[in-house]
Amino acid sequence: MVEINHATKVVVLTGAGISAESGIKTFRAADGLWENHAIEDVATPHAWKKNPELVWNFYQGRRNQLTEVEPNPAHKSLVTLEEFLGDNFLLVTQNVDDLHSRAGSNNLIHMHGELRILRCEQCHETFDMMQQEHLTADYVACPNCANQRLRPHIVWFHEMPFQLPEIYAAVEECDIFMTVGTSGHVYPAAGLIDVAKQAGALCVGVNLDEPMNYGMHDEFHQGKAGELLPNLVDEWVS
């Protein structure tokens, strides 16, 4: 039974399922291809070196899709939970879209990067680039140095997710760990629930299907996050 007050420490991990309800295409298809591309062709550092044009165009398509979607009730309900808990709330997302931030989430970590942002491999600066000229460009040059080709600020396979020390520290200290729209397939994100359980946290899940780590949840709500989460949050903060 979930009981929350203003002092309760909550960490929420979200995955592709919450964004799919807004119309974001899920990255991994049932046949193992990502929007008709093999993983090694579009989502590895080697692919970027071998065929940067293919990788760039792939992510440009995904960046453009952000202009066509809006946050759904599940995104907004997590903002309500953050407003209730303040600094005792942390949202960790595996998603690279900007729907959480557009909904109003502030205590937010994008562990797999962000489509909105491009990064320079020479000076390592990052730039929020969602203007039309950037969304239709063949490549974007670094505004800060001589590099003529910024890369997507995305964690590809064989790269380390962002801010892992901060994520693990928060999970180890939380009272409630919640997964929303996650399949439990992708590590290290899928292993965070193990860390939470070892720390004594209550683990709650919301997803359309049972995730791979279903048995690690103390409480699981099966269905669409946009339909279930607003009611759950309303009960918790009332």
Q: Among 238, 233, 235, 237, which residue's Cα sits nearest to residue 74?
A: 233
Marked catalytic residue, from 75, 112, 153, 217: 112
Per-residue HEC secondary structure of 131-148 comes to CHHHHCCCCCCCCCCCCC
Evaluate whether 88 touches 11 at the Cβ level (below 8 Å): no
Paired with 113 in beta bridges are 154
Q: Is 217 in the active site?
A: no
Active-site positions read 112
